[in-house]
Amino acid sequence: MNRPSTQTQSLRVLNALAGLCLSLILGACATSGDVKKLTKANQVQDQRLTAVEQSSGREFDQIGQTLESIRRQLRITEGRLLNMSNKIDQLLKEQAAISEGQEKTAARSASVRRRMGKLEKVNALERREQKKELDAMRISLAEVEKLMKSSIAGLPSKTRADKLFREAFSNMVGGQLDVAADMFGKFAITHKKDRRVPEAVYRGGQSFFLMRKYDHATVLFLEMADKYPKHKLAADARWMLARSLEETGDLKLARELYAQLIADNTIHKADATRRVYFINELYPNLKKPPKQAPQKKTPPRKRR
């Protein structure tokens, strides 16, 4: 059976009290028999009220127990939620630590890769510079070998010009390059009509090149190539001019001279080809000379 609600029981009590008051009011005018009936009715009503109060008290006790049980369940649930929240916080901290570790590892890896890239560039540059230095040494040794093969004893020594040329050549072969350069220059000035002036100019430039005074060498090799283009040493002078320009940093003009040596099929064709390749590899950003656009030919006008 469904128990009456608290509101229903309160209404019943109020109705009973109202009935009791009405009975008392009416009892003032009633007879003794009516009083007895009313008294009995009141007793019955009191019993009902007592029963209602007892029933209500039990229901209130049950409601209180139910509420206390709900509170216990809420406290247990709250404890579980708090425990779960702590676990979630711990997991978040661990995840954050893992993410931070991964970021640090990634940053270290990126730093290592950057360092490796820089080291590779530095090593490549050092290898290229070493190759360039070795190539310059090889050319210098080749020039010295040419000088050593020349027979100084076979040079004439009758005139002053002969003696000056022979002495300059002897100093050059002996390693006195600065003295030799001065003597060859003196020879070219004091004996302008001598057939050996072109060679003196070339040997002076050769002496400066071996001393790594490339600016001085450039001037003499340029004079040799400009004034004596048909001389037997003209191709050698153009080759040494290109080498001197490359050493001074004028790579574009040096590459053009190498290209001319290749096109003219000179004895330096193989070396010039190798130098062009070396310049292109060592300086990839060096711009090539722009190609000239072909000129449009205008058709001749028709005669009327």
One pLDDT digit (tens) per residue for the chain, 304 residues:
455 566 666 666 666 666 666 665 655 555 566 667 777 777 877 777 777 777 777 777 788 888 888 888 888 888 888 888 788 888 788 888 887 878 887 887 787 777 766 656 644 555 565 555 555 556 665 666 666 566 665 677 789 999 999 999 989 888 899 999 999 999 999 999 999 999 999 999 999 999 999 999 999 999 999 999 999 999 999 999 999 999 999 999 999 999 999 999 999 999 999 999 988 888 877 755 545 545 555 555 555 4
Which DSSP letter does residue 249 get?
A: T
CB 172 within 8 A of CB 211: no
Q: Which pair of tokens denotes residue 112?
A: 């290592």
Rounded to the nearest angstrom, the gap between the alpha carbon of residue 177 and the centroid of all alpha carbons in its chain is 49
Q: CA-to-CA distance for 95 and 89, rounded, in angstroms?
A: 10
Residue tagged 């320009």 (tokens):
245
- The ranges assigned to domains in the chain are 7-121, 150-282
Residue 136's pLDDT is what?
Answer: 58
Quick one: residue 2, left, alpha or beta (phi over 0 = left, psi -120 to 50 = alpha)?
beta
Q: Which pair of tokens denotes residue 171?
A: 């100093």
Q: Give the CA distances from residue 52 to residues 19, 48, 261, in Å, rounded to whole numbers and listed in that order.
A: 16, 6, 129
Closest by CA to 198, choosing from 163, 161, 237, 166, is 237
DSSP E strands, the chain: none
Residue 202 CB partners (closer than 8 Å, separation 6+): 220, 221, 224, 233, 236, 237, 240
Q: CA-to-CA distance for 126 and 134, rounded, in angstroms?
A: 12
Residue tagged 């997991």 (tokens):
91
What fold characterizes domain 150-282?
1.25.40
Residue 95's pLDDT is what?
Answer: 82
CB 221 within 8 A of CB 242: no
Residue tagged 């820089």 (tokens):
118
DSSP helix/strand/coil, 125: helix
Residue 101's pLDDT is what?
Answer: 79
Q: CA-to-CA distance for 61 and 97, rounded, in angstroms?
A: 54
Residue 18's pLDDT is what?
Answer: 67
CB 198 within 8 A of CB 227: yes
Residue 298 CB partners (closer than 8 Å, separation 6+): none
Q: Which pair of tokens denotes residue 126?
A: 């050092």
| Cα 140–Cα 144–Cα 148 angle in degrees, nearest 5 | 170
Q: CA-to-CA distance for 267 and 149, rounded, in angstroms?
A: 18
Dihedral of CA atoms 102, 105, 109, 111 in degrees, nearest 10, equals 120
Residue 290's pLDDT is what?
Answer: 47
Q: CA-to-CA distance for 17 and 10, rounded, in angstroms?
A: 11
Rounded to the nearest angstrom, the gap between the alpha carbon of residue 279 and the centroid of all alpha carbons in its chain is 27
Closest by CA to 185, choosing from 205, 159, 171, is 205
CB 205 within 8 A of CB 224: yes
CB 234 within 8 A of CB 225: yes
